[in-house]
């Protein structure tokens, strides 16, 4: 009787082995289907069970590594790929995946070693190009200093360059009517903008230091009193991880209007951007500025602005919604205001490197105290509707330089309780942007 028990145990083990093998095969197929459907967490759970049922199956371990990588568990991916490489030391595909995984974990030297081992086997030309691009990206990632920027030039047609009010009657002290000119002056102007960035990255940390210089100018053909130029500088630390980017900066700016100093400012701002998932991005920002108006000290103010937004990305579609609350406390209360802004923008990628966009902006402004000459507090409701199309015209082979063109139209409608501040205008713009 005592010999029967071990014999029965061995017989049961033999009979159950095919069932385990079948189970691991089913789990592999289910895991593969979930992986191809983009359900990486579910795929990983199924493939992990398959691995425990059949730990020597290389297909299971390899797909387990792919699922772990896809869901961001790079340590688990590394272990899975290394198991496969131990059993198949010459597997170039596994070495490529190990290189990518090591790169995600910050092990650049290991990544380069695996890439070079694959290159030594004389792989297909497409693989060689991909590896060389990755090696170039690693080399760029080891740099400390980065420079990039954009230059934009535009030609614009303005239907109401002098901001002629929509209402021809203005009431002084609430009762005395004054007739306003209704002659809208059409004009054309040229816009120039340059944004230059320098980034110093601290190696092997998520921190960097970013400095930005912005130059901007609008120059009218006839209405030179509307000419505007802006010079702004900002600098501050940035922390960037796989999950978020947080930037804080100090800034100074100077604005000239009609070739005279109009306003200077100094301030601090902080912005947090985080991805909820691949299709949803959240953005929050706060800024505080001290503004000095050179020609009118009653406008000198402290400005606080808080905003939050969300971007939804689905395939070739992108929708951004942003809300902003702004408070400006001026030296004279009749210049102090509270402002609420709602911005929406929709972008759609089109064939042949075209893209289309449309935006709607609502801005509501309430001033704190009444203007004595008008006998009431100033209130303005502004709506801007913009639509346009853009196209990538040229891109360098290394991707470092590109040229894009854009054609857009904006309609602005300001409804004000004091008629001198309300007007309508349309601006049509054509622009070229060089990015580097």
Domains in the chain and their CATH numbers? 18-141 (1.25.40.10), 146-435 (2.40.160.40)
Spell out the residues 6+ positions from residue 387 whose beta carbon is closer than 8 angstroms to its own.
356, 357, 358, 359, 408, 409
Element (H, E) at 17: helix 4-36
Q: 20 falls in which pLDDT band (50, 70, 90)?
A: very low
Q: What is the pLDDT of residues 165-176, one digit of tens each?
A: 877 676 666 666
The kind and range of the H/E element at 432 are strand 424-435
Query: pLDDT band at 8, cuts 50/70/90?
Result: very low
Euclidean distance between CA atoms 324 and 307, whole angstroms: 4
Task: List, for residues 58-87, the tens digit of each pLDDT value.
Answer: 999 999 999 999 999 999 999 999 999 898
pLDDT tens figures, 30-68 = 989 999 999 999 999 999 998 998 888 999 999 999 999
pLDDT at 5 over 50: no
| Residue 11 in this model has a pLDDT that exceeds 70 | no
Count Cβ atoms within 10 A of the Cβ of residue 14 and give its class: 0-12 exposed, 13-18 middle, 19 or more buried. Answer: exposed
- 2: confidence class by pLDDT, cuts 50, 70, 90: very low
Residue 1: pLDDT band (50, 70, 90) is: very low
pLDDT of residue 171: 61
Q: pLDDT at position 6, please? A: 43
As a whole number, mean pLDDT of residues 334-358 equals 97
Report the chain's C-alpha Rg in angstroms: 31
Residue 207 has pLDDT above 50, yes or no: yes
Q: What does the angle CA 120 – CA 75 – CA 48 come to, to the nearest 5 degrees? A: 105
Query: In this predicted structure, what is the pLDDT of residue 212?
Result: 98
The yes-or-no verdict on residue 3 having pLDDT over 80 is: no
Comparing 107 with 312, which gets the higher pLDDT? Answer: 312
Q: How would residue 349 be classed by pLDDT, with cut points 50, 70 and 90?
A: very high
What local confidence, expressed as pLDDT, does residue 173 receive? Answer: 60
Contact 80, 58 (CB under 8 A): no
Give mean pLDDT, residues 92-108: 89
**What pLDDT score does 172 carry?**
66
Return the SS3 of 63: helix
Tens of pLDDT, residue by residue over 136-169, are 888 877 778 889 999 999 999 999 998 888 776 7
Percentage of the chain exceeding pLDDT 70 = 91
pLDDT tens-place string over residues 357-399: 999 999 999 999 998 888 889 999 999 999 999 999 999 987 8
Burial of 231 (0-12, 13-18, 19+ CB in 10 A): middle
Distance CA 121, CA 422 (A): 72
Are the beta carbons of 169 and 158 closer than 8 angstroms?
no
Q: What is the mean pLDDT of the chain?
A: 90
Asked whether residue 183 carries a pLDDT value surpassing 70, the answer given is yes
3-state secondary structure of 346: strand
**Residue 182 clears pLDDT 80, i.e. is over it:** no
What distance in Å separates the CA atoms of residue 65 and residue 71, rounded to the nearest whole number? 10
């Amino acid at each position: 009787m005592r010999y029967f028990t071990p014999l029965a145990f061995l017989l049961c083990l033999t009979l159950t082995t095919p069932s385990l093998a079948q189970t691991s095969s089913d789990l592999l197929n289910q895991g593969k289907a979930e992986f191809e459907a983009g359900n990486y967490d579910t795929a990983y759970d199924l493939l992990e069970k398959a691995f425990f049922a059949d730990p020597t199956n290389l297909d299971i371990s390899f797909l387990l590594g792919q699922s772990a990588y896809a869901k961001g568990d790079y340590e688990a991916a590394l272990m899975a790929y290394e198991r496969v490489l131990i059993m198949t030391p010459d597997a170039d595909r596994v070495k490529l995946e190990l290189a990518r995984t090591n790169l995600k974990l910050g092990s650049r030297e290991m990544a380069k070693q695996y890439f070079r081992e694959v290159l030594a086997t004389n792989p297909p030309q497409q693989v060689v190009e991909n590896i060389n691009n990755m090696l170039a990206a690693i080399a760029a990632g080891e740099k400390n200093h980065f420079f990039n920027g954009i230059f934009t030039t535009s030609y614009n047609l303005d239907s109401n360059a002098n901001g002629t009010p929509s209402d021809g009657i203005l009431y002084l002290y609430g009762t005395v009517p004054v007739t306003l000119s209704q002659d809208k002056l059409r004009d054309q102007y040229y816009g120039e903008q340059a944004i230059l960035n320098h980034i110093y990255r601290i190696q092997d940390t998520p921190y960097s230091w970013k400095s930005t210089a912005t130059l901007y100018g609008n120059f009218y053909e006839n209405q030179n009193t509307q000419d505007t130029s802006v010079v702004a500088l900002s600098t501050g630390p940035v922390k960037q991880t796989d999950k978020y980017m947080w930037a804080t900066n100090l800034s100074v700016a100077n604005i000239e209007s009609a070739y005279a100093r109009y306003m200077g400012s100094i301030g601090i701002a902080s912005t947090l951007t985080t991805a909820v998932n691949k299709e949803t991005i959240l953005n929050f920002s706060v800024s505080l500025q001290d503004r000095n108006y050179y020609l009118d000290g009653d406008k000198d103010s402290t400005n606080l602005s808080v905003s939050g937004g969300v971007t939804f990305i689905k395939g070739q579609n992108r929708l951004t919604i942003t809300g902003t609350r702004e408070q400006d406390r001026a030296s004279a209360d009749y210049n102090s205001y509270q402002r609420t802004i709602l911005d929406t923008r929709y972008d759609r990628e089109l064939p042949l490197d075209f893209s289309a966009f449309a935006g709607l902006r609502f801005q509501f402004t309430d001033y704190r105290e009444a203007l004595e000459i008008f006998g009431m507090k100033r209130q303005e409701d502004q709506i801007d509707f913009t639509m346009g199309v853009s196209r990538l015209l040229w891109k360098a082979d290394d991707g470092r330089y590109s040229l894009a063109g854009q054609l857009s139209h904006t309609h602005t409608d300001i409804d004000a309780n004091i008629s001198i501040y309300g007007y309508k205008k349309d601006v049509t713009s054509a622009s070229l942007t060089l990015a580097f």
